[in-house]
């Protein structure tokens, strides 16, 4: 059967060329395509075929053409519509660069608290404008939800206007039978009673009850739900987790008053939201025009008249921020099981300062940017984007609105460093900081110029950070002012050496341990050594020196001299800077990963967390690793998500968050982070692998196969890891993988070689070719014979060997090898064997004649709410389709297991 993508491309002809798939839900699949005539990207949505069976394509197209008449800045218009040869409808819309409101809410949840008031009311105002325009032309959306709201360049726009109505009008039969089941549509997606369509979490009571005559007031109810979620930081029925429970709550339960959940929200706005959430449509506002009237009242949004200029020439940069400051509210993000506090921090990014001088002064300019970022990030009440994401905007031509949207911040800090030489030839600099409101794209404040002299290169960072914090109306306590004024060192030459070393580390941090990178890190170590020689009390320089020493010792584990240098440096660093968090982290990492000595390390990790700056992404990253290592999984996940939110353009941090989400079976989060990676680079193989792994963990081989074509189109030389995952999907990709040699896949490491034979074994098992499966096991046995495998990730390799031996019938060897796998895993995680894939172990026990033991392993894996950090959190469906576990099928133990764990 021809794939839906191919059928769609045939229908589109040469007008649009499909590029990549964005995903979609049960209702439709979503693609990005290139408009051949105009050279622009568009979005193509094609309905699920089973849903299309219940529709009249002609009637659907007619209704969509009516919706296409909507032309308003806050509505994404429909451009074209049609149907495939077999009658499956599709339509196109402009491609909107930015993020969805759902992604914004997820990111805010990671940071803690609600969306800042000013940003929330701006979004709600744009949404109300879209509703007022469409309702005035007789078109009701019927499915207003965060997934249908996009944020781009500081503006919110609504998608799919009129589509719900088109679906309802075009319906000829309810797709609740076999056709709907084939599409994976929830029962009742289109109900028989009145063809109600919507999303349970945002559905008006009359809509949920199947009233066929819902009107514009249903959209106002959904607006109220979104408003509540933005302003309170939680859905009004957040404790209802199933569609049926949500529908029941919308029909019969009253949410807690917004004013009690979020007392910082102005009373006028809170009252408007609660009116929109009335069960009786007649008690809601009469129209979206009324929403706009309230939102334009300054009392509803917390807006104030401009404050008089302060002594240093600073003005208020936002009513909402002024309100928070006047209330004395501050956000302290400390890792805890309970998560973050309820008040959100003010988000901002410090862009690379412009170096208006000799190129040689660029190191100082970059160091100044980093220092200002670090000082602002250490303040309660502020959350600052990591330098790795902000640095991507060096010398950018992108407008402020676009930068703010891409980084997810309302404010940007910019600066220009101008250099001049005095009569003696000494360089002096003048820095002028600027605060930009990224939502409006306008300068809100220009600070006083700060002069930097050779004798005092220190004060500028504190002065600039203080000015910015005051401009943002952040309450600075005496301790905060002391922290801002604290100098790294009092020695100008030591500071210069430190900045040179930091520049080298920053430039080579993500490039892998190549010879060039190793040389750069060695030079950085020399610079940090120079800094601590000049100033033995320079704590941050000791921390960075310890980090470079650990990197060299860890990357070249056979280099005994590197390990000796590390230990010497740590002893010296502890003597001079016993409380520096980076020094303490390197001590903890050395004990954990080099000495395998975990006695007392947990107390050391806790000490590190206690001294970390609250809102720095690196601090959140560090805390997540620490907490996860000691069983605080939920807190670790909160911290990791916060790190990703503060470094949104770092593929590495996004992938870490995707891995953690998958391990915790948070599928929507995992897909969202993987989508974010591909949005940064559609040819990112790790991003595609992350998408495939989510589908594999859910046992969704159809989704894996759908991802294969666009992934391979973007990655003509895909690696062994991606091919392994695609082979696991079955279908045409298994035979294609069998035809590929190790040379074709550029396999160079032992682990990849083991993975190669294991994946081919799985393909053979799925095809029922047991002889070939055993032959691959023989190759694996030869590959690993006599190898001493005891590294961090080697437990799974040893377990794979045990499986191959059991599959060959060598039971004694398999038992011994499996015991060795468990022992290797316990070296790295003494409390559990979470580093070993449950499918591999269960498949081995099944072949050893112990199906009950195999099933116990599977049940234990499902019982772990945090899954496996390495392999992911599996589902019963994933176990049911795993080639390694096919031998368990039809055994009483496995049948009981599947009945006990329905999807």
Looking at the annotation, which residues are catalytic? 143
Distance CA 99, CA 113 (A): 19
Among 79, 70, 124, residue whose Cα is nearest residue 101: 124
Taking CA 85 as the corner, what is the angle to CA 80 and CA 90, rounded to the nearest 5 degrees? 30
Is the four-CA dihedral 263, 316, 104, 153 of positive or negative sign? positive
Smallest Cα–Cα separation from 777: which of 764, 758, 790? 758
Please, is 483 exposed, middle or buried when counting C-beta atoms within 10 Å of its C-beta (0-12, 13-18, 19+)? Answer: middle
CA distance 597 to 590: 9
Closest CA to 126 of 227, 266, 262: 227
- The per-residue DSSP string of 60-108 comes to HHHHHHHHTT---TTB----EEEE-TTS-EEEEEE---SEEHHHHHHHH
Q: Which of 232, 452, 233 is nearest to 361 (CA)?
A: 452
Asked if residues 312 and 448 have their Cβ atoms less than 8 Å apart, the reply is yes
The answer to whether 586 and 546 are in contact (CB under 8 A) is yes
Tracing tokens 């249908």 back to the chain, one arrives at 148
Nearest one of 800, 761, 796, 801 to 781, comparing CA atoms = 801
> How many beta carbons lie within 10 A of that of residue 278, not counting itself?
18
Q: Give the Å distances, CA to CA, from 69 to 35, 57, 138, 839.
A: 20, 19, 12, 54
Neighbours of 10 (CB within 10 A): 11
Sign, CA dihedral 183-189-194-197, equals: negative
CA distance 621 to 653: 8
DSSP state of 461: H
The secondary element (H helix, E strand) that includes residue 582 is helix 581-589
Quote the CA–CA distance of 52 and 172 in Å, as a whole number: 10
């Amino acid at each position: 059967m021809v794939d839906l993508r191919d059928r769609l491309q045939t229908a589109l002809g040469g007008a649009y060329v499909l590029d990549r798939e964005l995903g979609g839900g049960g209702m439709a699949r979503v693609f990005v395509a290139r408009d051949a005539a105009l050279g622009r990207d568009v979005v193509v949505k094609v309905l699920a075929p089973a849903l299309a069976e219940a529709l009249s394509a002609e009637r659907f197209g007619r209704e969509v053409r009516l919706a296409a008449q909507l032309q308003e800045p806050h509505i994404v218009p429909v451009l074209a519509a049609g149907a495939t040869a077999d009658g499956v409808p599709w339509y196109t819309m402009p491609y909107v660069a930015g993020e969805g409101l759902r992604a914004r809410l997820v990111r805010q949840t990671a940071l803690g608290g609600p969306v800042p008031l000013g940003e929330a009311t701006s979004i709600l105002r744009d949404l109300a404008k879209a509703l007022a325009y469409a309702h005035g032309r007789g078109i009701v959306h019927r499915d207003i939800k965060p997934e249908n709201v996009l944020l781009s360049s500081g503006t919110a726009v609504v998608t799919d206007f009129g589509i719900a109505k088109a679906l309802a009008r075009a319906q000829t039969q309810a797709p609740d039978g076999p056709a709907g089941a084939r599409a994976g549509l929830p029962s009742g997606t289109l109900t028989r009673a009145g063809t109600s369509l919507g999303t349970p979490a945002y559905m008006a009571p009359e809509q949920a009850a199947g009233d066929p005559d819902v009107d514009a007031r249903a959209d106002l109810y959904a607006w109220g739900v979104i408003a509540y979620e933005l302003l309170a930081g939680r859905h009004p029925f957040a404790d209802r987790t199933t569609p049926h429970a949500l529908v029941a709550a919308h029909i019969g339960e009253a949410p807690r008053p917004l004013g009690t959940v979020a007392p910082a929200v102005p009373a006028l706005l809170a009252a408007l939201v609660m009116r929109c959430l009335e069960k009786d449509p007649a008690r809601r506002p009469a129209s979206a025009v009324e929403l706009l009237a309230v939102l334009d009242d300054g009392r509803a949004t917390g807006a104030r008249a401009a404050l008089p200029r302060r002594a240093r020439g600073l003005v208020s940069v936002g009513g909402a921020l002024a309100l928070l400051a006047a209330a004395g509210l501050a956000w302290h993000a400390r890792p805890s099981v309970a998560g973050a506090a309820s008040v959100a921090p003010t988000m901002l990014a410090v862009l690379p300062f412009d170096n208006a001088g000799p190129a040689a002064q660029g190191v100082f300019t970059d160091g100044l940017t980093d220092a200002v970022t670090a000082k602002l990030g250490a303040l309660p009440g502020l959350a600052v984007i990591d330098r790795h994401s902000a640095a991507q905007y060096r010398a950018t031509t992108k407008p402020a609105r676009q930068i703010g949207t891409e980084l997810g911040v309302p404010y940007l800090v910019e600066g220009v460093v101008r250099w001049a030489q005095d009569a003696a030839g000494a360089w002096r600099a003048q820095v002028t900081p600027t605060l930009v409101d990224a939502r409006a794209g306008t300068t809100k404040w220009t600070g006083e110029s700060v002069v930097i002299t050779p004798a005092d290169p220190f004060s500028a960072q504190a002065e600039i950070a203080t000015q910015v914090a005051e401009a943002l109306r952040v309450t600075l306590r005496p301790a905060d002012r002391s922290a801002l004024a604290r100098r790294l060192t009092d020695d100008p030459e030591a500071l210069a050496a430190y900045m040179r070393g930091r520049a080298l580390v920053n430039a080579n941090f993500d490039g892998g341990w190549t010879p060039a990178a190793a040389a750069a890190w060695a030079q950085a170590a020399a610079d940090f050594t120079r800094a601590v020689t000049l100033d033995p009390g320079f704590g941050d320089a000791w921390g960075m020196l310890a980090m470079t020493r650990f990197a060299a010792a860890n990357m070249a584990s056979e280099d005994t001299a590197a390990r000796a240098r590390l230990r010497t440096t740590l002893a010296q660093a502890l003597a001079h800077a016993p409380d520096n968090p980076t020094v303490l982290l390197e001590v903890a990492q050395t004990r954990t990963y080099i000495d395998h000595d975990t006695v007392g390390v947990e107390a050391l990790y806790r000490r590190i967390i206690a001294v970390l700056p609250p809102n720095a992404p690196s601090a959140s990253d560090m805390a997540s690793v620490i907490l996860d290592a000691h069983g605080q999984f939920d807190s670790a996940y909160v911290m990791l998500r916060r790190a990703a939110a503060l470094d949104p353009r770092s593929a590495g941090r996004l992938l870490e968050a995707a891995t953690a989400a998958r391990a915790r079976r948070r599928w929507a989060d995992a897909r969202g982070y993987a989508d974010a990676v591909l949005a940064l680079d559609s040819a990112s193989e790790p991003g595609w692998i992350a998408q495939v792994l989510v589908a594999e963990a859910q046992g969704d081989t159809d989704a894996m196969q759908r991802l294969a074509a666009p992934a391979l189109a973007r990655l003509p030389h895909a690696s062994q890891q991606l091919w392994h995952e695609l082979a696991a999907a079955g279908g045409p990709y298994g035979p294609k993988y069998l035809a590929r040699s190790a040379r074709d896949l550029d396999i160079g490491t032992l682990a990849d070689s083991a993975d190669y034979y294991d994946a081919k074994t799985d393909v053979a098992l799925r095809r029922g070719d047991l002889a070939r499966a055993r032959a691959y096991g023989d190759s694996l046995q030869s590959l690993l014979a006599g190898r001493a495998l005891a590294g961090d990730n080697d437990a799974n390799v040893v377990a794979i060997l045990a499986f191959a031996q059991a599959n060959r019938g060598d039971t004694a060897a398999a038992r011994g090898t499996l015991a060795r796998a468990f022992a290797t895993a316990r070296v790295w995680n003494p409390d559990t064997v979470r580093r070993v894939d449950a499918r591999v172990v269960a498949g081995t026990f099944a072949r050893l004649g112990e199906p009950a033991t195999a099933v116990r392993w599977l049940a234990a894996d499902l019982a772990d709410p945090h899954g496996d950090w390495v392999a992911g959190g599996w589902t019963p469906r994933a176990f049911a389709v795993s080639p390694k576990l096919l031998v368990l099928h039809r055994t009483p133990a496995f049948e009981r297991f599947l009945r006990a764990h329905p999807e």
